[in-house]
Structure formats: structure tokens, C-alpha cells
Structure 1
Amino acid sequence: MSILVSILVLSGLIFFHELGHYAAAKFMGVTVEVFSIGFGKRLFTFRKWDTEWSISAVPLGGYVRMKGQDDSDPTKKSLDADSYNVKTPMQKIFILLAGPAANFVLAFFLYFGIALGGPNILSPVIGEVVKDSPAFKAGLQTDDIIKSIDGVKIIAWKEMAKIISDSDGSLNIEIQRGGYIEFKTLTPSIRETTNMFNEVIQKKMIGIASAGVFHKLELSPSDTLSYATEQTIFASTMIFTGLKKLIVGEVPAKELGGVISIVKLTSDATAQGWMSVLFFAALISVNLGVLNLLPIPALDGGHIMFNLYEFIFRREASESVIIKLTIAGWVILFSLMGLGLFNDINRLMG
């Protein structure tokens, strides 16, 4: 079941990505010859609106082939009025950006749907209290509910952790214990922990762990739009930052995941319900948008790079350079896919 859900999620995200390219190309008057979800042998195909629509056997990607554009042979060109080749660099960049943009827009609507359904958030309920920590010395206990810090109402564990991390000096904490309200004063201490990228960092903490209690977040119509916007921006920033750390070596290459990781995460999300699947789909959609913007010739970002060169220098890059860089791009892309798969297998084998 999880494999089927994974295929449906990936195929849906790829469909919207390619639909972005398709819509932009048609808007620019370019004929789209093929719109395919998947690669390899075609399992199902039909022709409509001058385009051959296909579902292929290997559901690990997709593509639109525009008239005059062929990544397998960049020298193949068409100078017809409806060809991709005759468009200006800015028109081509518009078509190329439309795919990643569609992924970001889709992620926004997925987060919007989550907001309408009321996302589950981690409640500020204390589970474990670390011995001799500031919380322990102040008398905080398991099952205490943190209601406010320095007069700021606390709704979620995440916002509580941020206030503590950003604090300067002592904190006045309001807690609910049983049916009573109590007030505690403590000063956070700097401790060693790990962040979302598994890096060891120094952070202000008070020595408590979550009890793992969740509650539904009720949002007004305006809050719903804000939530969707903030989550889309957060996911984009997180992925851009993660890629930067991976490239400069701050995050080890073993953290890279592949198809097996996606299937496993989808399986975990499916077990938690449709809301978790939407969360995961939104995150992967942003991931697709970001990855396709990388300046690798086999991706949209690589084609954008070539068109920016043409726009700036008023001439196309030489065919030999384009061919060599495109081949290098495919080598990089398949190497990354292979590394992700290798890491996935290592994780499965412990």
C-alpha cells in the first residue's frame, strides 16, 4: 500500500511540475510534442491538443518535450515559428521557471488544505525533566503544561522552544499542574544538542523533553493563508539551507536519501493519516522545485544558466560546450541518485 501511495504522490507532484512547463510553453506559442509521466516503455498513451500524453513504465520522473528541444541531442533544433529554439532567452527562462514555480504553488495549496483541516501541533506538555537542569531546579515536573513565558501565551512546543533559545536572562514561566496555576522563574543554560540537519550545536535550553501530546490548531481564514505562506517559505528555506550545507560539507553525504527513503517516509506518513501524507507531499513538492533550480545542465536550472549566458553575452554557448556540460550534468544527476540509493540500502542494513 505504501509503495502505491508513494508512486501516486510522486507522480502527482511530477505531473504538476511538467504541467507548469506545458502551460508556459503553450502560452509562449511553443508546440509540446510529448508530455510523459515516467520513463521507459510507454504503458498508456493518447493524443490531444497536438501533444502525445503518456504514462511510462518507470515512475521516477517525467518530462515534456517541446518542439526543437531534445536533451539527448542538443544539436537538434527547429526554426519553425512554434519551436522552443526561436524564442528569446527570457521567454525560454519563463518556460523553464514555470515547472519549479508550479511545485511551490502546489505546496502552498497543500499547506492551505492542511490549515483548513486543522493541523496537529505538538503541545507544550512536559515529559521528561533532566536532573540538575534549570527546569529541575525550578521544580518543573512531568505533565506540567506551559501556559506562558514572560507573559507571552504559549500554544505549541515549537514556539516555546524558540522563546527559550532566543532568551536573554531569566524567564518567568506560567505552568498548569493539575487544576492549578503556578509560576516558576529560571535561567536557561547553554547545552549541546543537534539541529534538524543532525549537526551538533550549542543552544539555550532548560532541560525538558516533550510528552508527545498533540492538539489541533484552530485557524481563522486570515491565519490559514498566513500558515500556508509561512510553511511554504520555511520548507523552501530549510531545503535550500540543507543543500548548501551538503555542498560545502557541513552535512555529510551519508545524510542524502533516495527513492527508498521516500517510500519509507510515505509509508510512515500514510500510517499517521491523510494529513501527514499532505505534509509530506508538500515538502517533497518544494524539494522538487528547489532541486530543479540547481545549475546542473540536465535540470531546469542548467537550461536557465545557458539562457542567461545567451541573454548577457548576446550569443548562444557553443554546441560542444553545451553537449559536454549536459553529459556532465547527467553524470552528476545519476551519481547523486546512486549515492542516495546506496545510503538508503545502508540504512536498511543498519
Structure 2
Amino acid sequence: MARDAGLQPQDQFVSVDGRKIVAPDDLSRALKDNKGKPVTVVVKRPSGEFTTTVTPNNDGVIGIGIGVNAERYYKEMSVGEAAAQSVTVTGRMLDMTVKGFGMMFGLVEKPANISDADMEVRGIVGIVQMGAGALGSGVFDFVWFLVVISINLAVMNILPIPMLDGGHIVFFLIEGITGKPVNAKTKALLSNLFFVLLIGLFALGLFNDMKHIVGGK
């Protein structure tokens, strides 16, 4: 699709369907908003700007890998605008995180541009590696990485799993509905079961980390 439209590696997207592209998320949203519809895109090259028409597929993909432009843009905002933007961005990140969990467990269809390797569970070693890479790109990227990790932990913590806050909320709801607490033995059994599952999940993440290290990825 992208090649047929004349797009080339290292093209920098300027606009899609008249919408200015500043960050990779802007491009992804613009393409997904125009699934199956031809859109006019403008890209910047050393030789100048190039305009063409491309049609995203049903996943909002045009067959390219999206990278981050080293040039960063800043927009001055009032306190109110910044607060509203923070809510919007956090909501968007929460949505992406929840969908990511859904993709991992096969509950949400995986877009064509995301490989199976991208959906692998990663452990503490992988997280440290990604954090180091983000720090190497600058303080802004590292802080953003911490934000993403925090949101992921928040979503995981609210899952209805014993030992996590989400599990306690479920127990409290059951107690509120039935008028009596959940049987202590039942709570202990569920807690032990999910503890074993969580340990298995951490072990899987560590295994994948080692696999990537050995494989040089």
C-alpha cells in the first residue's frame, strides 16, 4: 500500500487528510479514523514535500513501520488546557493498555502491524532494558516510559485477582451484596491459586527476557 502510493523509508509525515502529524500517535489515529477510505497524505523529504493518496486497510494500517522523529515540538498551554490534555492522554494510554492486555489473552484482535513477539510477556530484565533505552533517548522519553509503566501497573492492580486491589474490591462487593464476608478458606484458596499463576507469569517474563538476550534482540 505505502510503496504503491510512492512513500519511501525515512519519509516524515506532515499531515493526513489535512490533520497535522506531530507524533506517531497522531499518525496512527488519523489512519484508523480513515479505515478503508483513501486519504491524502503529505510527507517531507530532503527534496521537499510529497503529496499522495493512500488507503488504510481495515486495521488502519498502510504497510509501514512508524518511527519517532528526532525533532520534538512543544506547544504552550494554559493550566486548564494542560490539565485537560493530561486527562485526555491518560485516558488514551489507559485504553491502549487495556487493549494490550486483551490482545495478550486473545480477547482483542491484534492489528496486522503488531507481531506475536511484540505481545510477549516481558519481565524485570526486559523492563530495565527498555528503561535504559528510553533514558538514552533523553529525560523526556524516560519520564514518558515511567508514565507508561505506572499506567500498566494501575490497570493490572485493578484486575479482579486476589491479593491485588481489584480482588479486594470484588470481595467487598460480594460482602456488600450478601451481607457476610467471603469464607476465609475460599479467600485463602483463591489467593494461593492466583499467587502461583502470578509467579508463573513472572517466570514466563523472565524466560522471554533471557530468550531475547541469548538471541541478541
- Do the structures match in fold with TM over 0.5? yes
Residue 238 (structure 1) aligned with residue 103 (structure 2): no
Aligned counterpart for 2:29 among listed residues 162, 178, 200: 162
The change in CA–CA distance for 1:154 and 1:292 in structure 2 (over 3 A counts) is closer
Aligned counterpart for 2:171 among listed residues 294, 306, 324: 306
- Taking only aligned residues, the RMSD between alpha carbons, in angstroms, comes to 3.4
> Which amino acid in 2 is paired with 1:317?
V
**Structure 2 length-normalised TM:** 0.76
Residues 185-230 of structure 1 show CA distances to partners (whole Å, capped at 9, x for unaligned) of: 524264xxxxxxxxxx854528686684422232312442233222
Q: From the CA coordinates, give the structure whose radius of gyration is larger.
A: 1
Aligned counterpart for 2:39 among listed residues 171, 183, 198: 171
**Offset of 1:313 from its aligned partner?**
0.6
> Which amino acid in 2 is paired with 1:219?
E
The question of whether the paired residues in 1 share the 8 Å contact of 2:19 and 2:30 is answered with no
> Which amino acid in 1 is paired with 2:26?
E
The change in CA–CA distance for 1:265 and 1:303 in structure 2 (over 3 A counts) is same
Greater RCO structure (CA 8 Å; 6+ sep): 1
CA distance in 2 between partners of 1:238 and 1:208 (Å): 18
Structure in which a larger fraction of residues adopt strand: 1
The change in CA–CA distance for 1:314 and 1:291 in structure 2 (over 3 A counts) is same
**Offset of 1:173 from its aligned partner?**
4.5
CA distance in 2 between partners of 1:270 and 1:208 (Å): 22
Residues 97-134 of structure 1 show CA distances to partners (whole Å, capped at 9, x for unaligned) of: xxxxxxxxxxxxxxxxxxxxxxxxxxxxxxxx964x11
The change in CA–CA distance for 1:204 and 1:264 in structure 2 (over 3 A counts) is closer
SS at match of 1:284: helix
Aligned counterpart for 2:146 among listed residues 271, 281, 284: 281
The question of whether the paired residues in 2 share the 8 Å contact of 1:150 and 1:171 is answered with yes
Residue 296 (structure 1) aligned with residue 161 (structure 2): yes
**Offset of 1:330 from its aligned partner?**
1.4
What is residue 226 of structure 1 aligned with on the other side? Answer: 84
**Offset of 1:348 from its aligned partner?**
0.9
SS at match of 1:186: strand
* Unpaired runs of at least 5, structure 2: 111-115
What is residue 73 of structure 2 aligned with on the other side? Answer: 216
* Unpaired runs of at least 5, structure 1: 1-128, 191-200
Aligned length: 206
**Offset of 1:346 from its aligned partner?**
1.2
Q: After the TM superposition, which residues 46-61 of structure 1 pair with which residues of structure 2 at under 5 Å, given as runs? A: none
**Offset of 1:286 from its aligned partner?**
0.9
**Structure 1 length-normalised TM:** 0.50
Moved more, 329-338 or 221-230: 221-230
> Which amino acid in 2 is paired with 1:300?
D
CA distance in 1 between partners of 2:66 and 2:194 (Å): 45
**Offset of 1:175 from its aligned partner?**
5.8
What is residue 270 of structure 1 aligned with on the other side? Answer: 135
The question of whether the paired residues in 2 share the 8 Å contact of 1:164 and 1:206 is answered with no
The question of whether the paired residues in 2 share the 8 Å contact of 1:188 and 1:206 is answered with no
What is residue 337 of structure 1 aligned with on the other side? Answer: 202
**Offset of 1:310 from its aligned partner?**
0.6
The change in CA–CA distance for 1:158 and 1:239 in structure 2 (over 3 A counts) is closer
CA distance in 2 between partners of 1:144 and 1:219 (Å): 27
